[in-house]
Amino acid sequence: MALDHTAASAQLAFEESIIASAPSLVQQDGESRNAFVGRCLLAQQNAAVSIAVKAESGEVIWASTYGTRRNAEGLAVAVTKDPETVEVVVPGFVAEADKEEFITNAKADRAKIVGESSTDTAESLGMLSVPPTTSTVFQAASISKPISAMAIMRLVQRGILDLDTDIHVYLAAAEWKLPVELPESVEPESKTTLRQLLAHTAGTSVHGFGGYNRKDARTNKIEIPSVVGVLNGTGNSGRVVLHGPPRMYSFYSGGGTTIAQLVVETVTGKAMRQVLQEEVFEPLGLENTTATLDDSPNGGDFVCGHLGSEALPLAGGYHLYPETSAAGVWTTATDLCKIQDAVVKSLKGEPVNGAIYLDAAVAKEMLMCRFAGPEGVACGVGWMVEAETSRFAHSGGNEGFICDASTYANTGAGISWMMSGEGYSQVQDAVNAVKTALNFPVATKPAEEKYTLLTSEEKIAGTYLFKESSLSDQYIRVSRRSDKTVFEFSTLKGEVVGKPAGTEGEDAFTFNVMPRVTSAKFKVNSQGQTLLMIAGLTLVKQPTYFKRTTVTTTTMPAVAEGPKTTKVVKKTEFYVER
């Protein structure tokens, strides 16, 4: 069936961008365009990509999958190479101080893959041997978080859970309590709730999870921890604790999402993967989506994770994630479009598969921006929301997999993509080409601000509110006492003395405050405002109003034989110090 103009434009834009990223390759005689695009992907560290675009109606108008399930040919070549001659490509987002560690870990990953993955076969992995299709599943990684939030909102809708109840009310039977690791001088001033956990504003630790190698688990080299074990740090991630100011701003925490998983499992008595099946996958008719920990997801119709500059397949094919809500879903780009379309239809009061999925008020609550986030994006319940364009979205990255899903709530149009490999920029550039071809809205980039340093530590003192104050009514108050800089957070009882990063230049105005606030920087913008930059967000020092009264006495000379007169003028003025 021929594609309509919009779908054809999307496909052409995507494929042309991928092909342009590998200029040294030429399409061979008899080679299909799909196969050629797959070869171009491999040239840039990617084994497979799946993409889907949906129209304003919610209908998926174009979906395609390129590449291979498992780069066996690349692995066979890699086994013959001297590992010292293999270049490690360091992504641009890796900080200079972390590059050496990244290279060391990449070499260790490659050695494990070459040593253990070469004995894997499609049969031993329980994987289909035919090329991948649009029904082939990839790991959804952190997009599992908003999917799990949708399941939780269904439970909220039925009164089984409440977003604003203290989680410890639900966790009494689990015999687990959120540990607090804050400076001794402070303590949380309120409860921890599901709303905070799902919006990454609870102040909890552990950004993400590395998963557990499937082959190691199969051979009993490792033991996969329970959910409580994960939270207690008995697996390969740290203990989940409260170590930052809650309800202040969004600070990403997969650990917090895993606490939400424990709440659901404790209250329902069911594994999270079963709750997802009952509350999301079945009602939405998602035939190619699962959260199983069993071997061979989707009946073997899956793609392996791939790592490194050679796009080598992971030993055992992929990692296992007991952190189901944070990282455990397998799905397709098409099903991701359907998941987001269910939110849009719920907002409009329209049925999904013959029934209302979420009440309109509940769906609206999911996209309500209550907490400030970085770069114009705020966090609702599960989804990240860009207010300017109405786009709600989430991205993800598991070992060997990267993905993204986004939809415009005001129109219903959207795009989802999933990839196996680490050549992110190649795929992101192609996705951006699709967005341009389809005239998808793009948020305005703020003008680059120029900053100067403060001239005195004393100018730090004051009350700071978030620049996007509509998203947060919280504040940070800073004072100077005996040459010390003291921080008071509105959601914590007590105060913390900041430790300056140094004595000169910017370091003199940069402070370590607590584990989750490792860099609080003070600067001055071009308008002369003092700013506090923290967690990718900007707070503005509020004007301090001072009252000044002056008294002027004027003696008037005597008139004729009369006495001298005195005129007293009392003047009150108000002035502002920023």
Q: Which pLDDT score is estimated for 578? A: 46
Coil, strand or helix: which one is 173?
Answer: helix
Nearest to 384 by CA among 364, 369, 365: 369
Please count the other Cβ atoms lying within 10 Å of the Cβ belonging to residue 49. 30
What's the pTM value of the predicted model, to 2 decimals? 0.91
- Euclidean distance between CA atoms 328 and 324, whole angstroms: 4
Q: Which pLDDT score is estimated for 259? A: 98
- Euclidean distance between CA atoms 349 and 355, whole angstroms: 10
Amino acid code (one letter) for 62: W
For the record, the structure tokens of 363 come out as 């769906």
Contacts of 292 (CB under 8 A, 6+ apart): 273, 330
Contacts of 216 (CB under 8 A, 6+ apart): 222, 315, 316
Q: Which pLDDT score is estimated for 376? A: 66
- Euclidean distance between CA atoms 87 and 356, whole angstroms: 53
Contacts of 282 (CB under 8 A, 6+ apart): none
Looking at residue 298, the DSSP 8-state letter turns out to be G
Q: Which pLDDT score is estimated for 189? A: 83
Which run of H or E residues covers position 42?
Answer: helix 33-42
Q: Which pLDDT score is estimated for 63? A: 97
Contacts of 446 (CB under 8 A, 6+ apart): 376
Nearest to 315 by CA among 108, 81, 84: 108
96 torsion bin: left (phi>0), alpha (psi -120 to 50), beta (else): alpha
- Euclidean distance between CA atoms 264 and 316, whole angstroms: 30
270 DSSP β-pair partners: none
Q: Which pLDDT score is estimated for 576? A: 45
Per-residue pLDDT of the chain (578 residues; tens, 9 = 90+): 456 778 999 999 999 999 999 999 999 999 999 999 999 999 999 999 999 999 998 999 999 999 999 999 999 999 999 888 888 888 777 888 888 888 898 888 889 899 899 999 999 999 999 999 999 999 999 999 999 999 999 999 999 999 999 999 999 999 899 999 998 899 998 899 999 999 999 999 999 999 999 999 999 999 999 999 999 999 999 999 999 889 888 889 999 999 999 999 999 999 999 999 999 999 999 999 999 887 789 999 999 999 999 999 999 999 999 999 999 999 999 999 999 999 999 999 999 999 999 999 999 999 988 776 666 678 899 999 988 899 999 999 999 999 999 999 999 999 999 999 999 999 999 999 999 999 999 888 877 888 988 888 878 999 998 876 555 678 999 999 888 999 999 999 999 999 988 888 888 899 998 877 778 999 999 888 999 988 778 889 998 654 556 666 666 666 666 666 666 666 655 444 54
Distance of CA 282 to the CA centre of its chain: 26
Whether the Cβ atoms of residue 420 and residue 3 lie closer than 8 Å to each other: no
For the record, the structure tokens of 559 come out as 């008139």
Quote the Cα angle for 273-277-280, to 5°.
Answer: 115
Nearest to 411 by CA among 5, 153, 151, 53: 53
